[in-house]
């Protein structure tokens, strides 16, 4: 790596950290972000006590920035990937996305019906998953077009994650090769959710008594996970947009 490239990377990191710290300061104090070329400049308190509190808040922000910056980098990576997906969805349009989803899921249903001789209940489960994924894909595109950061983060991203994750999980029910990769991860996530999230809420015992982590239950698990996962993805991308807008 050349010296110029290293300086460029280091310079970019410095700018990111500066913006992130300014964002932290802006949570409490006015006129903190992007003030380098401003006539008024960065706001600072006039009183001794105010200045001391200002510096204290700045110092508290240093470890927060250190912990948050890796999430900014992850968000920047996710933003690149989501833009690729968004670009493809934009070119296809809502109708194109629905047609593509119907073709993929139609092939999976045909495979389940004619090649795997799946029981009627299994075919119904695959058909239900196909309906959820197709509707989710269409709603992800429609809500994305509606605009607005809140709609994108809390509605579009969960629908998009559902549409992307559900097909391989359902495919894992029929393909041992896919199952070897998907099912262990699904079990690990289910155990983590049970012991870490559901047990403190008092719902762990009920779920263990009434649900088995077998067959279509894995699709239900991933569908339930896709919503908070979509929110997390959207928040990380938003954080990256805030610190690194380009």
Q: How many domains does the chain have?
A: 1
Residue 12 lies in a domain: no
Residue 58 lies in a domain: no
Output DSSP code: residue 196: I
Residue 191, class by beta-carbon neighbours within 10 Å (0-12 exposed, 13-18 middle, 19+ buried)?
exposed
* Residue from 242, 244, 245 nearest 27 by CA: 242
Average pLDDT on 114-122 reads 60
Do residues 109 and 130 make contact, with C-beta atoms less than 8 angstroms apart? yes
Residue 6 lies in a domain: no
pLDDT surpasses 60 at 157: yes
Residue 14 lies in a domain: no
User: By residue range, what is the domain housing residue 168?
Assistant: 69-243
- What confidence score (pLDDT) does residue 1 get? 47
Residue 196 lies in a domain: yes
Cα atoms in the Cβ-side hemisphere of radius 13 Å centred on 125: 19
| 211-226 tens-digit pLDDT | 666 656 667 777 777 8
Banded pLDDT at 200 (limits 50, 70, 90) = confident
pLDDT surpasses 60 at 159: yes
| 46-60 tens-digit pLDDT | 888 888 898 899 899
Residue 54 lies in a domain: no
- What confidence score (pLDDT) does residue 119 get? 55
- What confidence score (pLDDT) does residue 152 get? 84
H helix intervals, 111-216: 120-146, 149-151, 157-172, 176-192, 199-201, 204-210
Residue 25 lies in a domain: no
- What confidence score (pLDDT) does residue 3 get? 46
Residue 9 lies in a domain: no
Write down the mean pLDDT value for the chain: 77
């Amino acid at each position: 790596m050349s010296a110029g490239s290293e300086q460029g990377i280091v310079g970019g990191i410095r700018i990111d950290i500066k913006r992130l710290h300014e964002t932290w300061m802006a949570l409490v104090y006015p006129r903190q972000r992007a003030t380098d070329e401003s006539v008024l400049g960065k706001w600072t308190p006039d009183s001794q006590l105010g200045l001391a509190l200002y510096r204290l808040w700045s110092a508290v922000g240093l470890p927060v920035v250190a912990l948050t910056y890796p999430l900014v980098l992850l968000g920047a990576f996710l933003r690149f990937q989501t833009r690729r997906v968004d670009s493809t969805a934009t070119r296809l349009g809502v109708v194109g996305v629905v047609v593509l989803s119907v073709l993929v899921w139609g092939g999976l249903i045909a495979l389940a019906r004619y090649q795997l001789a799946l029981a009627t209940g299994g075919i119904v489960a695959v058909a239900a998953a196909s309906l959820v994924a197709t509707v989710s894909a269409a709603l992800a595109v429609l809500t994305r077009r509606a605009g607005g950061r809140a709609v994108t983060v809390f509605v579009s991203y969960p629908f998009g994650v559902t549409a992307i994750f559900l097909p391989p999980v359902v495919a894992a029910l029929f393909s041992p090769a896919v199952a070897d990769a998907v099912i262990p991860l699904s079990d690990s996530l289910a155990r983590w959710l049970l012991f870490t999230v559901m047990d403190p809420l008092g719902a762990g015992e009920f779920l263990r008594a009434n649900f088995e982590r077998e067959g279509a239950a894995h699709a239900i698990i991933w569908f339930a996970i896709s919503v908070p996962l979509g929110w997390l993805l959207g928040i990380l991308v938003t954080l990256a947009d805030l610190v690194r807008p380009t």
